[in-house]
Structure 1
Amino acid sequence: MLTRFSPRTIKALASYVYVYSDPDTREPFYVGKGRGNRVFDHLKDTADTPKAAKIRHLLRHGKEPLIEILVYGLDEETALKVEAAAIDLLGIDHLTNEVRGFESRRYGRITVEQLEAQYHSTFLWEEDIVDKLMMIRISATYSDALSPLELYEMTRGFWRVDVERARQADYVLAVYQGIVREVYQVADWFPGGATFMQREEDGAWARECYEFVGRIADEPIRQRYRLKNVAHFFPKGCQTPIRYLL
Structure 2
Amino acid sequence: MCNLNLTSKEDSLEITEPSMLIRINELFRDDMSDEELYNATRSSWRVSLNRANNVEYALSVYKGIVREVYLITAWQEADPTAHEKNNGRFEFIGNIAEDTIRNKYKLKSVKHYFKKGNMAPFMYINS
SS of the residue corresponding to residue 243 of structure 1 reads: strand
Identical-pair percentage: 39
For the residues of structure 1 that align with 2:79 and 2:11, how far apart are their CA atoms? 33
For the residues of structure 2 that align with 1:238 and 1:147, how far apart are their CA atoms? 28
Count of paired positions = 119
SS of the residue corresponding to residue 54 of structure 2 reads: coil
In structure 2, what is the equivalent of residue 143 of structure 1?
A: 29
Q: What amino acid does structure 2 have at the position aligned with 1:192?
A: A
For the residues of structure 1 that align with 2:103 and 2:9, how far apart are their CA atoms? 12
Q: Which has the higher helix share?
A: 1
- Deviations 1:179-224 (CA, angstroms, capped at 9, x unpaired): 0000000011111117xxx33xx22x21321101000001111001
Which runs of 5 or more structure 1 residues have no equivalent in the other structure? 1-120
Counterparts in 2 of 1:143 and 1:122: CA distance versus 1, 3 Å = farther
Please report how far the alpha carbon of residue 129 of structure 1 lies from its aligned counterpart in structure 2 after TM superposition: 2.6
Map 1:49-68 to 2 at 5 A.
none
Please report how far the alpha carbon of residue 130 of structure 1 lies from its aligned counterpart in structure 2 after TM superposition: 2.5
- Pick aligned residue for 1:161 from 26, 47, 57: 47
Instruction: Give the alignment's Cα RMSD to 1 decimal.
Output: 1.8
SS of the residue corresponding to residue 87 of structure 2 reads: helix
- Pick aligned residue for 1:229 from 105, 109, 120: 109
TM-score by length of 2: 0.85
- Pick aligned residue for 2:63 from 171, 177, 180: 177
For the residues of structure 2 that align with 1:242 and 1:216, how far apart are their CA atoms? 18
Higher-RCO chain (CA-CA 8 Å, sequence separation at least 6): 2
For the residues of structure 2 that align with 1:171 and 1:230, how far apart are their CA atoms? 14
